[in-house]
Each structure stands twice: as C-alpha cells, then as structure tokens.
Amino acid sequence: MKNVTSLEVKSITGPLTQLFMHFPFLKRLTLRGWIAGQVNDAQYHTRTKNELSHLVIPIGYGRGLQEGWSTGLYLPGLTHLSFEDSTYTGERTGELVNLLVRSQCSLQWIELRPWEAAAHYRNQRDIDQFLRYISSVTGPDASIVQVASIVQVTEEEEEEEEEEED
C-alpha cells in the first residue's frame, strides 16, 4: 500500500498528516467527506508532502472539514487544485489559503466548483477575493476554471440577498 500514488478518501477519522505517513508516494488526493482536525501529537504536526501535486477538496457548509484540518501540512509540490465551496469565504477556506501560502507552491491549474446544494450563495466577488488571496502561489500562466452552476442566480436575486444581509 505504500506505493499508492492516487487516492480518493470519503472520510478520515485521524489527522491528514497521518494519512500522508501511510502513503508517502501520494501524488493525487481527492477528499470527498469528513476530514478530522489535526491532533496535538508532535509526530503528526509537521508533514511536508513534496510529491503531492493534485488536490481535490470540498469545503463549506459542514462538508466534513474540521477546524484545524490543515495544521502542520506543507504542500510545496502542489500544482493542481480543484476546490468546491459554497461561499469561498469562511474559516475552512481561510485554512486552505493559509496552507497554500505557507507551502509556497506554484499552482498551474485551479478549478473552482460550486457546491450545488448551495449554489445560490455563490458570489463572484468572493471568488475573486479568494483568487487574490492565493495570487502569490498562482503561477503566471495558470489556468483558472470556474465551473458553472446548474442553478442560475439572477442579478436581481443576488441584490435581494445582499440587501437581506445588510
């Protein structure tokens, strides 16, 4: 099992760094569900994954990421990110931004996918802000793909939502 290079995970009850200890040659990781927060055990705290180049991750509305899910991780070899979120804001997204920035990776391909159940919350300004936050780790010729939602939000509906927030 140590030679596994691609893995799709539905849930992890332990820290993500522990997963990397069991799969040292992992290049592609797809997370689909529950990801526990890191533990206060020194053996799991800092883990650099130079080999990991592709990460698919869902964030938002309790999709499974616990606070602290990225603590201690460094992914300097990351070049491809596929990110699914409902709002592109919030603590879990902030953790992703911090992970990318501290890893000093160079993203060449970024896919932003809306979470369909909450697609009406999708806000282009939030997506643009997220992209600004990670601009220091986005390669100069990076491809940025925004997958359109099946649910279309009209400008009028978006304005109504903004008024309700105020």
* Stated pTM of the model: 0.77
What span, in angstroms and rounded, lies between the C-alpha atoms of 63 and 74?
A: 22
pLDDT of residue 147: 79
Query: In this predicted model, what pLDDT tens digit does every residue of 47-67 receive, in sequence order?
Result: 677 789 999 887 755 555 677
Residue 132 and residue 166 in contact, taking contact as beta carbons nearer than 8 Å: no
Percent pLDDT > 90 in the chain is 28
Query: In this predicted model, what pLDDT tens digit does every residue of 64-91 receive, in sequence order?
Result: 567 777 777 889 999 999 987 766 677 7
Closest CA to 120 of 91, 154, 164: 154
